Amino acid sequence: SPEQDDAETKSSYAESSLKIRVRQQDLGDGFVEIRFRRGHEFGGEVSEVNLREAYVNTYVGKFDFRFGHQIVVWGRADGFNPTDNITPKNFLIRSPDEDDKREGAFLVRSFFNAQPVRLEAIWTPVYTASVLPTDIAPLPPGMRIGKPDFPDAKFENSSFAIKCNIELASLDGSVSYFNGYNPFPGVDATESDETSVGIEITQKAYRVHVLGAD
């Protein structure tokens, strides 16, 4: 209670990771990272095995291709980054390192290297939503959390992104465009047919167009 001056441990866990990188001469390479996490959090025991990334790279002349489960940081800003909308985040992770909240998604990423210009394109065939703390705080009477409204795995629900990077000794910047569903879902409220529930709150993915520069 607020009148008591007692210490409380919100989170206590140990985490380790396994990283594997293999290379096949000049054809390409592969990378896998798995994280193991065990401890106590949100009043309960947590034991997780998280496949953070698993992808392969292949190099063809000036073109680079990356296929698989990847984490993409889209934009150069730290903290508030309005163009960072390619891969999701897990907002339940308690860590002083902001990078620990990032989650991977299956996508195809390609690069065309023509220094000082580097073109980048991304195709995300399946939507993956960020993890939001929807179950931590109880809802008022007459409200409940419904089933998320996320897009199906269809080609018309894919996400696309392109970027033009300029990398010089005295200038480093980019112009980018994103067309797809935002990994950070919005919230929708609808009336429920059940008499005991008046309003149903659901997570809903919205398609956005984002033009950015840095």
pLDDT band at 67 (very low <50, low <70, confident <90, very high): very high
Q: Are 122 and 108 in contact (CB under 8 A)?
A: yes
- Whether residue 177 is predicted with pLDDT greater than 90 in this model: the reply is yes
pLDDT at 1: 55
pLDDT at 55: 97
Helix (H) or strand (E) holding 144, with range, is strand 143-145
β-partners of residue 152 are none
> If you average pLDDT over residues 182-197, what whole number do you get?
82
Residue 72 and residue 138: Cα distance in Å, rounded?
33
155 — phi, psi (to 5°)?
A: -60, -40
211 Cβ neighbours under 8 A, 6+ residues apart: 175, 176, 177
pLDDT at 13: 85
β-partners of residue 209 are 179
Q: Are 95 and 55 in contact (CB under 8 A)?
A: no
pLDDT band at 195 (very low <50, low <70, confident <90, very high): low
> If you average pLDDT over residues 121-126, what whole number do you get?
97
**Amino acid (1-letter code) at residue 206:** Y
Structure confidence by residue, pLDDT tens digits, 19-65: 999 998 778 999 999 999 898 887 788 898 999 999 999 999 999 99
pLDDT at 70: 96
- Whether residue 193 is predicted with pLDDT greater than 80 in this model: the reply is no
Take residue 98 and report the two structure tokens written for it: 């902001």
State the residue for tokens 């959390």: 145
Q: Are 71 and 90 in contact (CB under 8 A)?
A: no
pLDDT at 139: 80
Structure confidence by residue, pLDDT tens digits, 146-169: 889 999 999 999 999 999 999 999
72 Cβ neighbours under 8 A, 6+ residues apart: 86, 87, 107, 109, 122
Mean pLDDT of the chain: 89
Residue 121 and residue 108: Cα distance in Å, rounded?
8
Q: Are 74 and 86 in contact (CB under 8 A)?
A: yes
Q: Are 125 and 178 in contact (CB under 8 A)?
A: no
* Residue 98 or residue 185, greater confidence: 185
pLDDT band at 196 (very low <50, low <70, confident <90, very high): low
